Chains A and B, each alone.
Chain A
């Protein structure tokens, strides 16, 4: 439908950008020949045709070229030579240098090419990935988490009697071996949740307060009811299903993610090294006297 027809026209614009890249590449690596001789062959004619049409179509233009009359070809050779001559003259005058934006684009493209070339064939062995993991364990560290349910006795509803009610509830729950999944049958309505799944310390501390959080993380998971613990809202009998201590997952568990991160870092390191080695070819002089 209309989506496809939409693509048709902008595709031309987009191909123009490909052609622009050709031109930029030509600024960076001028033809080796640099005197008063301009040699024009099929390769130069194809480049010229594509740049002029702002369209990248190697096969189409090759066909066009092959079917050209001698007159047409002669005209094209002259056009290409004029472009090349103007380009050389412009180079000699340093026009690209004079235009800060052109200069900026050349720099940007050169940087991209250098980086992409260096990054293209980076491959890491398992031992490279493992040593990256060893050096970056902090990045993979996971905070403590708890999963629990609770029976809540509200201070607002019961005032000073809430603690006693919580201790009675704890005894009843234990005596009757009430499963955690039946917590909802006991106690009062709580303003947040009845069940918490893999909740982080920050979430618990926000809803229950710091003292409660410290006390909760001091408990060990088990099938028996525990507590009661006091929060800002009242007293809580706790059914602690699971607790995950802060940990760094073993390499095997997250090998894929580590490999991706290690590769990204290796590529970026190579790119930086490529810039460094480029700069070794240059001596930098600071007119202000620095190095």
Chain B
């Protein structure tokens, strides 16, 4: 009896203390002192690769799919260590340089706890027991229905336990602090804010990435407010207290057209205040991930022969769903408001719900627990996914973020986020640099330290071009791409120009550098690079393409009185997609409509030009 009383009191005390800590949220988590600078920081910016969007079993949907990994597992996997995923040991071929674990703030840790029996089930006991006994079949989708209600702002009672959320959040912070290793590996504390409306509102999620080492006591979730203006208020309050963060929207392709709306989330025309807050809080957008790319699509960019890349269906206003048309709309809004709300840089991420950021096509274990377990190759390769309406094999292993930063530390990488010196890839670690300026760069373009000189000459990706000055021609761009040593050679570098002209937005794509002795045809298009993929063996040869591409390009039709932005897109030669490797390993054919190969790619953040008049 005495023993019982002591235990019981201890348990309750632990729970209660959790709640009071959550209430006293002013100070938040106090991190360690600043990071030690690297002695070997040469001052030259280097490319680091990482994932800014990854879920573990602390997320409601990952837990429902029986993903077993924790934030610790996620960081270990990113660092190149072996991790247990669904009973199989998996390991990345090449480790990442940084990672942010971004579990859904809604029901954070609660579904996992309820399934483990640590808290009471949110629904009738017998029904709950039936659902959580699933092995990836129909009951799993029923369980998703309960779990995902948290994202729709109608939370299920019993899964909103703030003590569980608080403990899960503290676990996430502790895990990132443990794995952050300045100079070697950067672990960001982060989470996903995930408001999800009906067909008219779509998917308006943001990943919140903290600079560290100080954090708020609790994440701000869609159950607090489905309006991202509320999230900004949380971030702005925190920033005033020294807790800095950036918010990164993703899957604009699934936003129902609302990602790049003319309105605020209350339906009123966008104000200058909204535009300024959006620009200040959201310097980046995620352009590539497993649930499709958001750059553009053939209906919006009929002259772009590379527009049909890894797409899902979008609903609502199509131009509001895609980044290229969305950023054009930002320029249009800026003409009226004086501030561009959508002046964004680009990042790529996985959005896997496996805890394993496995963006290597030849080393991909699946992304959502039992729903796409590779033990069941026939289901993945041939059955239509109820979520996608096509086989899961049509989704490639995407994507990653590259940053140009002085060293691999939180401060250096976060600063790169803020100045948008980032690029997105569809998964490989292919590197790309872009600079823009107003004079002839040929004097240094071939120098070994050309990039260091280019920072003095112009602005890097993500920057704002200054006034043309005495220049009588358009801006000049220098762009270099280097292949991922573990992936395919490079086909070409293109520059995408989007500009305003007489109250309309226009776009045009220029091939700037390419491999081999190809010449553009009479239609102005460069011929395809070729294809060495052997689908029967899931192999390819680097006998076509180039390891490095380099070029300079000057805009031939520049109007100094109109807004414009420019970004580079780098295309690889065709390589097999993960489904092809799985098909060869399992002996089960790809379904019709699944291409055995893809052309991986990278997108730099745009360089923006605003006329001195500001109109």
Give A residues with C-beta under 8 Å from B: 1-4, 6-7, 10-11, 13-15, 17-18, 20-22, 25, 28-29, 32, 56, 99-102, 104-105, 107-109, 112-113, 116-117, 147, 151-152, 183-195, 197-198, 202, 206-207, 232-233, 241-242
Contact residues in B for A192 (Cβ distance below 8 Å) = 431, 482
**Known contacts A184-B447, A188-B446; A17/B119 CB under 8 A:** yes
Q: Tell me the bound Cα distance from A176 to B42 in angstroms.
A: 22
**Known contacts A15-B19, A25-B8; A1/B550 CB under 8 A:** no
Q: Are A195 and B448 in contact (CB under 8 A)?
A: no
Contact residues in A for B41 (Cβ distance below 8 Å) = 197
Interface centre among B117, B184, B230 (most CB of A within 10 A): B117
> A21 contacts which of B15, B94, B452 (Cβ < 8 Å)?
B15
Q: Are B8 and A1 in contact (CB under 8 A)?
A: no
Q: Are A17 and B40 in contact (CB under 8 A)?
A: no
**Known contacts A104-B117, A189-B550, A233-B547; A25/B4 CB under 8 A:** yes
Is there a chain A Cβ closer than 8 Å to B162's Cβ? yes
Q: Are A22 and B44 in contact (CB under 8 A)?
A: no
Q: Are B449 and A184 in contact (CB under 8 A)?
A: yes
27 contacts between A and B (CB under 8 A): A1-B233, A3-B234, A7-B218, A10-B160, A11-B19, A11-B162, A14-B163, A21-B11, A21-B15, A25-B7, A25-B8, A56-B12, A56-B16, A102-B125, A104-B117, A105-B117, A108-B116, A186-B448, A189-B446, A191-B483, A195-B42, A197-B38, A197-B183, A197-B407, A198-B38, A198-B40, A206-B94
Q: Tell me the bound Cα distance from A188 to B548 in angstroms.
A: 13
The smallest C-beta distance from B39 to any residue of chain A, in angstroms, reads 9
Is there a chain A Cβ closer than 8 Å to B534's Cβ? no
> A187 contacts which of B121, B448, B482 (Cβ < 8 Å)?
B448
Q: Give the contacts of B40-94 with A (CB-CB under 8 A).
A: 40-42, 44, 46, 94
Q: Are B449 and A194 in contact (CB under 8 A)?
A: yes
Q: Are B121 and A101 in contact (CB under 8 A)?
A: yes
Contact residues in B for A107 (Cβ distance below 8 Å) = 117
Is there a chain A Cβ closer than 8 Å to B385's Cβ? no
Is there a chain A Cβ closer than 8 Å to B225's Cβ? yes
Contact residues in B for A21 (Cβ distance below 8 Å) = 8, 11-12, 15
The smallest C-beta distance from B50 to any residue of chain A, in angstroms, reads 15
Interface centre among B22, B46, B160, B237 (most CB of A within 10 A): B46
**Known contacts A3-B25, A14-B162; A108/B118 CB under 8 A:** yes
Is there a chain A Cβ closer than 8 Å to B224's Cβ? yes
Q: Tell me the bound Cα distance from A207 to B121 in angstroms.
A: 52
Q: Tell me the bound Cα distance from A188 to B450 in angstroms.
A: 10
Interface centre among A1, A15, A17, A100 (most CB of B within 10 A): A17
Q: Tell me the bound Cα distance from A202 to B91 in angstroms.
A: 15
The 7 closest A-B pairs by CB, nearest first: A184-B449, A206-B485, A197-B40, A191-B548, A29-B4, A191-B482, A108-B117
Which partner residue on chain B sits nearest A7 by CB separation? B23
Is there a chain A Cβ closer than 8 Å to B1's Cβ? yes
Q: Are A2 and B448 in contact (CB under 8 A)?
A: no
Interface bits B98-128 vs A (CB < 8 Å: 1, else 0): 0000000000000000001111110001101
**Known contacts A10-B160, A193-B46; A22/B12 CB under 8 A:** yes
Is there a chain A Cβ closer than 8 Å to B139's Cβ? no
The smallest C-beta distance from B115 to any residue of chain A, in angstroms, reads 10
The smallest C-beta distance from B81 to any residue of chain A, in angstroms, reads 10
Is there a chain A Cβ closer than 8 Å to B161's Cβ? yes
Q: Tell me the bound Cα distance from A112 to B225 in angstroms.
A: 35
Q: Are B15 and A18 in contact (CB under 8 A)?
A: yes
Interface bits B7-32 vs A (CB < 8 Å: 1, else 0): 11011100110010011010000000
> B480 contacts which of A100, A186, A191 (Cβ < 8 Å)?
A191
Which partner residue on chain B sits nearest A182 by CB separation? B449
Q: Tell me the bound Cα distance from A180 to B449 in angstroms.
A: 13
Other A-B pairs beyond A21-B8, A189-B446, 16, CB < 8 Å: A1-B233, A2-B230, A11-B19, A14-B19, A14-B161, A17-B120, A29-B4, A99-B125, A101-B125, A116-B10, A197-B41, A197-B46, A198-B183, A202-B94, A202-B95, A242-B40
Q: Are A190 and B448 in contact (CB under 8 A)?
A: yes
Q: Are B94 and A17 in contact (CB under 8 A)?
A: no
Q: Are B447 and A197 in contact (CB under 8 A)?
A: no
Is there a chain A Cβ closer than 8 Å to B486's Cβ? yes
Q: Tell me the bound Cα distance from A7 to B16 in angstroms.
A: 14
Is there a chain A Cβ closer than 8 Å to B157's Cβ? yes
Interface bits B361-389 vs A (CB < 8 Å: 1, else 0): 00000000000000000000000000000
Q: Give the contacts of B237-270 with A (CB-CB under 8 A).
A: 237
Is there a chain A Cβ closer than 8 Å to B309's Cβ? no
Interface centre among A4, A6, A22, A187 (most CB of B within 10 A): A6
Is there a chain A Cβ closer than 8 Å to B129's Cβ? yes
Is there a chain A Cβ closer than 8 Å to B220's Cβ? yes
Interface centre among A112, A189, A207 (most CB of B within 10 A): A189
Q: Tell me the bound Cα distance from A158 to B158 in angstroms.
A: 70
Contact residues in B for A32 (Cβ distance below 8 Å) = 1
> A101 contacts which of B3, B128, B225 (Cβ < 8 Å)?
B128
Which partner residue on chain A sits nearest B128 by CB separation? A101
Q: Tell me the bound Cα distance from A207 to B430 in angstroms.
A: 11
Q: Tell me the bound Cα distance from A183 to B46 in angstroms.
A: 17
> B160 contacts which of A13, A29, A105, A116 (Cβ < 8 Å)?
A13
The smallest C-beta distance from A121 to any residue of chain B, in angstroms, reads 12
Q: Tell me the bound Cα distance from A116 to B118 in angstroms.
A: 14
Q: Are A152 and B448 in contact (CB under 8 A)?
A: yes
Q: Tell me the bound Cα distance from A107 to B38 in angstroms.
A: 49
Which partner residue on chain B sits nearest A15 by CB separation? B19
The smallest C-beta distance from B494 to any residue of chain A, in angstroms, reads 19
Q: Are A189 and B237 in contact (CB under 8 A)?
A: no
Contact residues in B for A13 (Cβ distance below 8 Å) = 157-158, 160-162
Interface bits B179-217 vs A (CB < 8 Å: 1, else 0): 000011000000000000000000000000000000000
Contact residues in A for B126 (Cβ distance below 8 Å) = 101
The smallest C-beta distance from B215 to any residue of chain A, in angstroms, reads 14
Q: Are A10 and B117 in contact (CB under 8 A)?
A: no
Contact residues in A for B121 (Cβ distance below 8 Å) = 101
Q: Are B19 and A189 in contact (CB under 8 A)?
A: no
Contact residues in B for A185 (Cβ distance below 8 Å) = 448-449
Q: Tell me the bound Cα distance from A17 to B122 in angstroms.
A: 12
Contact residues in B for A28 (Cβ distance below 8 Å) = 4
The smallest C-beta distance from B249 to any residue of chain A, in angstroms, reads 22
Q: Are B447 and A6 in contact (CB under 8 A)?
A: no
Interface centre among A22, A116, A117, A195 (most CB of B within 10 A): A195
Q: Are B183 and A10 in contact (CB under 8 A)?
A: no
Contact residues in B for A14 (Cβ distance below 8 Å) = 15, 19, 161-163
Contact residues in B for A151 (Cβ distance below 8 Å) = 448
The smallest C-beta distance from B137 to any residue of chain A, in angstroms, reads 20
> B448 contacts which of A7, A20, A189, A202 (Cβ < 8 Å)?
A189
The smallest C-beta distance from A231 to any residue of chain B, in angstroms, reads 11
Q: Tell me the bound Cα distance from A207 to B431 in angstroms.
A: 12
Q: Are A184 and B40 in contact (CB under 8 A)?
A: no
Q: Are B162 and A7 in contact (CB under 8 A)?
A: yes
Contact residues in A for B407 (Cβ distance below 8 Å) = 197
> A184 contacts which of B8, B448, B550 (Cβ < 8 Å)?
B448
Q: Are B450 and A189 in contact (CB under 8 A)?
A: yes
**Known contacts A1-B237, A11-B23, A13-B162; A207/B485 CB under 8 A:** yes
Interface bits B154-169 vs A (CB < 8 Å: 1, else 0): 0001101111100000
Q: Give the contacts of B265-301 with A (CB-CB under 8 A).
A: none
The smallest C-beta distance from A240 to any residue of chain B, in angstroms, reads 13
Contact residues in B for A187 (Cβ distance below 8 Å) = 448
Which partner residue on chain A sits nearest B483 by CB separation? A191
